[in-house]
């Protein structure tokens, strides 16, 4: 790939790549990618975003999927430290926001303990983008004045969950379960067990913000059989609460009608240079 791009002061930028649509990438993230000497990226980072990397940039895949980890977390931490200590400007590119269920905090701790300078670049999180692209405001006057983000990335075979469903069911606000595709049965069962009603609205959003997005609606009692019938697959966000019913009225995103994205590296570079 050519010669490495070396900086006199190695640094790691832990960057949120957003929920999927490359046009939801922040300007700061785009600028750093265009100057990177190395990019360590996750599974859900789109190829279009990686096009912003300059010639000579090292691109290292560190993606994880259930039961299949390209690198263990400790190996990723060591890699980031090593690359920065070589003098590289390193972008650690993570889907969504790196500090929302992204293990960005663990990576920042490792860098801090190794004395490696780092910066956190927030990204648009799927926890809010997925509901928004399905027409679901996670808060809405008269319906929900609070929202709780929950990781649903638990082993379905675990005999017990580590999530406090009793507290969630009693809270009265919107619940957003991130990485929830394989846990819909457990989510439904536990919330019903602790008092939520069968008719509580649920929205399930797959591949949010992309041309492959699917936004599905059902009730909490229906959710397990509905998700099985519809073959819901990762990545998916599950929204539980009264606001989920607004998807029927506020749905605005039509993936099948959306024109091809005008995204291009040249257009992005032109935009960055004009700021």
DSSP sequence for the chain: --S--B-SS-EEEEEE-BSS-GGGS-HHHHHHHHT-SEEEE-TT--HHHHTTSPTT-EEEE--EETTEESS-HHHHHHHHHHHHHTTBEEEEEESB-TTSSS-HHHHHHHHHHTT--EEEE----HHHHHHHHTT--SSBTTTBS-EEEEE----TT-SS-SS-HHHHHHH-SEEEEET-GGGHHHHHHHHHHTT--TT-EEEEEESTTSTT-EEEEEETTTHHHHHHHTT--SSEEEEESGGGGGHHHH----GGGPPPP---HHHHHHHHHH-
Instruction: Identify any residues that bridge with 206 across adjacent strands, giving them in sequence order.
Output: 214, 236
Q: Which residues are designated catalytic?
A: 42, 64, 179
98 contacts: CB under 8 Å, gap ≥ 6 = 14, 15, 16, 92, 104, 107, 120, 121, 122, 123
| CA dist., res. 217 & res. 134, Å (int) | 10
């Amino acid at each position: 790939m050519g010669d490495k791009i070396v900086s006199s002061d190695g640094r790691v930028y832990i960057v949120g790549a957003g929920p999927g649509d490359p046009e939801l990438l922040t300007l700061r993230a785009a600028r750093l990618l265009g100057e990177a000497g190395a990019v360590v990226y996750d599974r859900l980072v789109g190829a279009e975003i990686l096009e912003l990397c300059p010639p000579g940039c090292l691109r290292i895949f560190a993606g994880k999927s259930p039961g299949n980890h390209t690198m263990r977390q400790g190996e990723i931490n060591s890699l980031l430290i090593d690359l920065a200590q070589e003098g590289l400007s390193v972008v650690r590119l993570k889907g969504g926001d790196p500090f929302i269920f992204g293990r960005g905090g663990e990576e920042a701790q490792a860098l801090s303990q190794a004395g490696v300078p780092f910066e956190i670049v927030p990204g648009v999180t799927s926890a809010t983008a997925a509901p928004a692209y399905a027409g679901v405001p996670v808060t809405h006057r008269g319906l929900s004045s609070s929202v709780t983000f929950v990781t649903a990335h638990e082993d379905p075979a675990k005999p017990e969950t580590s999530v406090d469903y009793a507290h969630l069911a009693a809270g009265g606000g919107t619940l957003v379960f991130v990485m929830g595709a394989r846990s819909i049965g457990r989510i439904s069962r536990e919330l019903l067990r602790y008092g939520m009603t069968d008719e509580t609205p649920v929205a399930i959003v797959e591949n949010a913000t992309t041309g492959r997005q699917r936004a599905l609606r059902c009730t909490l009692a229906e959710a397990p059989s509905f998700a099985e019938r519809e073959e819901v697959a990762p990545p998916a966000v599950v929204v539980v609460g009264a606001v989920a019913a607004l998807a029927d009225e506020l749905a605005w995103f039509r993936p099948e009608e959306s024109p091809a994205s005008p995204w291009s590296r040249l257009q992005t570079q032109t935009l960055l240079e004009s700021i």
